[in-house]
Amino acid sequence: MAREGFLKHASQHRYRLRLQATDTLTLEPVRCDCPVVGVWRGGLILLHNGELRAVGESPERHNLYPTHAELIEGEPLRVVAHRIDLRGRTLGWLLDHLDHNHTAYLSGELRLGGRTEAPIEDLERYRSATLSGKQLKLHYARAEDLTPYLGLVAAEGEVFVQFWLKPGDAAVELAILDPTDRDTIPEELRGYP
């Protein structure tokens, strides 16, 4: 029920989840009053102790199994989203262009050019950034979640950047040139259409 309540008003208010849960890997009990960030495969994404974690009823998909959850409506929220074509660019380049005075989450999928090496990842079910072969998937990733991927060049793909603004905050604009305005092709992308 908490997921449906969040989805109905997600872009209008900030939400917290007062949660009692079990960690699906360690079986440790978890109690928190955590900010809700988004949704993930029938559950919610929370910010718990500085990390993004998914809570839901599937041990194969979620980090936390809820035993009690209460969704709490917080202050008003305005979400401004921008769609960015990253063809020929890196995530590091995008992060350099973001306004870091506001909370930002990135979601999307990129096909990478050149050599890629996936970092060793832990067994947790939800990850905000997942590299598989030459595919990098982002789901509510924050700047600090992207450190291993900052230098990888996208052969194609796009990212949606959500800025979460407080009441009275000015709209966030991204001044990004169209990729066709550039006259050089990165070495990693030569040979791609």
Looking at 8-17, 52-61, 97-106, 179-188, which range is the least confident one?
A: 179-188
HSE-CB of 163 using CA atoms within 13 angstroms: 20
Check whether 27 has a pLDDT greater than 60. yes
The C-alpha torsion from 6 through 40 and 36 to 147, rounded to 10°, is -150
DSSP state at residue 125: S
Q: Is the pLDDT of residue 115 over 90?
A: no
Strand partners, 48: 51
Enter the tokens of residue 45: 């994404």
User: What is the per-residue burial (b if ≥16 Cβ within 10 Å, else e) of 30-49?
Assistant: bebebbbbbbbeebbbbbbe
Task: Report pLDDT digits (tens) over 120-164.
Answer: 565 557 899 999 889 999 999 999 999 999 999 999 999 999 999
Domain layout of the chain by residue ranges: 2-76, 78-189
In the block, which residue shows the tokens 């994404």?
45
Confidence of residue 188 (pLDDT cuts 50, 70, 90): low
Do residues 94 and 153 lie in contact, with contact meaning Cβ atoms separated by under 8 Å?
no
Q: Determine what percent of the chain is predicted with pLDDT higher than 90.
A: 64
What's the whole-number mean pLDDT along residues 104-109? Answer: 96
pLDDT at 183 (0 to 100): 43
d(CA 2, CA 120): 33
Mean pLDDT of 42-59: 94
Residue 166, both tokens: 């407080």
d(CA 143, CA 138): 11
2-76: CATH class: mainly beta
Q: Is the pLDDT of residue 106 over 90?
A: yes
What's the pTM value of the predicted model, to 2 decimals?
Answer: 0.83
